[in-house]
Amino acid sequence: MSVVDVDGLRGVVDVTLERRREAIPMVEEIIAEHAERFHHWYQSRVAVPVISSLVQRAETLRERELERLLCPAAPT
């Protein structure tokens, strides 16, 4: 523990404030990057139902083809 007078405290506050000001551009860059990622994610949500439908259609075709391959119709 240390004792600091008001003038010393002012110096600590000034140094801390300057460090925070210097960090502002880096913080703004981080925020911009995450905002852009969110924007891309949000825009891609439109494609989710289409992709889901295509996956379901492919699964149906896969099942049908496997059934045809593994269980051929009996000759008549």
Tens digit of each residue's pLDDT (9 = 90 or more) over 21-56: 999 999 999 999 999 999 999 998 988 999 999 999
Q: Tokens 């699964």: give the residue.
A: 59
Structure confidence at residue 3 as a pLDDT band (50, 70, 90): confident
The length of the chain, given as a count of residues = 76
Residue with structure tokens 């210097």? 22
Q: Looking at residue 32, what is its pLDDT?
A: 98
pLDDT band, residue 76 (cuts 50/70/90): low
**pLDDT higher than threshold 70 for residue 58:** yes
* Secondary structure element (H or E) that encloses residue 54, with its range: helix 48-70
